[in-house]
Amino acid sequence: MITVRNFDELKSLPRDKVTGKIVLFNYPFDKQMAAEGRGGEAYGEAVVYRGDGPSAAARQGAVACLIRSVGGADYRLPHTGQTTYADDAPKIPAGAVTAEDADLIVDLVRQGPVKMKLTLTPQQLPDVESYNVIGDIKGSEHPEQVIIVSGHLDSWDLGTGAIDDAAGVAVSMEAANLIQKLHLKPKRTIRVIAWMNEENGLAGSKQYGKDHEKEWSNHFAAMETDGGAGHPIGINIKGKFEIKKLLAPVLAVLQESGAGGTNFAEHIGADIEPMEKAGVPAFSPIQDSRFYFNYHHTAADTLDKIVPKELAENSAVVSVLAYALANMDQPLPR
């Protein structure tokens, strides 16, 4: 075995040091960053080793690749998630070890040669037919113009997927439910989508793109909730800066529950990315991300992690914004 901290350290090693070895990427998730409420950024920095580490190791002759689990809590829980094998490298076996075990392996390797036997059982089975679940509240004036409110249906199999992303599906369905209960009549169509296969290749999002890309100009806005159910403090926006001004009356309403803030983001949600790229303004609630990555993609992603009041706060933010977008007098700038 050999251990490296990052890609640069791996690249600095001569090929014969790596050939035939198991490589462990021991890149630590930045807990301080997550504690400051920037869990998504901390995840982004570390998750590249899960995504690209195996191919990087294989290019230098490694026979298998391990990573330090990408997550914020050290409870000896391995975290799973997607790996992308590059076309120009052998597809070597790969897995994640807990933070504690990564530390142990690093210590042992420092003391002398370490051998490890890996028993990895996952396999990629052929695709089966599956579905996005879509429901519309038809707009009363512009039914062809659509505001998407969404989360994803699938989850990794270690836990139950309560925070990733049953929460996002529940928030989106509840947004529609609240609008119905209040007998509101949105002028544009509010479309709730529970996306299929976000985690393992975005098949549902890609199919929706194939079916609807000619209608992107009629997709007024797209929202996705995929960051758990933590207390929201405002709205992430991907779009022109003028959007913030246009939403000022809505933000004033949301501020009554402490959710009137805004953040301009480069990217909002994996499933709505095709629309983001086509210029459709995109939104999500700014959720408390301090603890999300403690549980995300682990056996501990279970319903007890969700605080019902905070889940409801997210539904409130999403429904207020969705309804406001549906009834805006002017189009949003693109």
Residues that bind Zn ion (CB under 5 A): 164-165, 226
Catalytic residue among 9, 144, 198, 276: 198
Q: Between residues 226 and 313, which has the closer beta carbon with respect to Zn ion?
A: 226
Identify which of 144, 266, 150 has the alpha carbon closest to the alpha carbon of residue 208: 150
Q: Between residues 174 and 226, which has the closer beta carbon with respect to Zn ion?
A: 226
Q: Going by C-beta distance under 8 Å and a sequence separation of 6 or more, which residues neighbour residue 320?
A: 250, 253, 254
- Structure letter (DSSP) for residue 75: S
232-238 and 261-264 beta bridge pairing: parallel
In angstroms, give the least distance from the CB of 89 to Zn ion. 27
Q: Between residues 78 and 227, which has the closer beta carbon with respect to Zn ion?
A: 227
Distance between CA atoms of 178 and 190, rounded to whole angstroms?
Answer: 12
Residue 198 falls in the annotated catalytic set? yes
Identify which of 189, 185, 210 has the alpha carbon closest to the alpha carbon of residue 134: 189
In angstroms, give the least distance from the CB of 71 to Zn ion. 14
DSSP for 149-216, written as a single string: EEEES---SSS--IIIIIHHHHHHHHHHHHHHHTT---SEEEEEEEES-TTTT-HHHHHHHHHHGGGG
Distance between CA atoms of 226 and 284, rounded to whole angstroms?
Answer: 8
Q: Between residues 226 and 276, which has the closer beta carbon with respect to Zn ion?
A: 226
DSSP for 194-205, written as a single string: EES-TTTT-HHH
In angstroms, give the least distance from the CB of 164 to Zn ion. 4
In angstroms, give the least distance from the CB of 228 to Zn ion. 9
> What is the set of active-site residues?
198
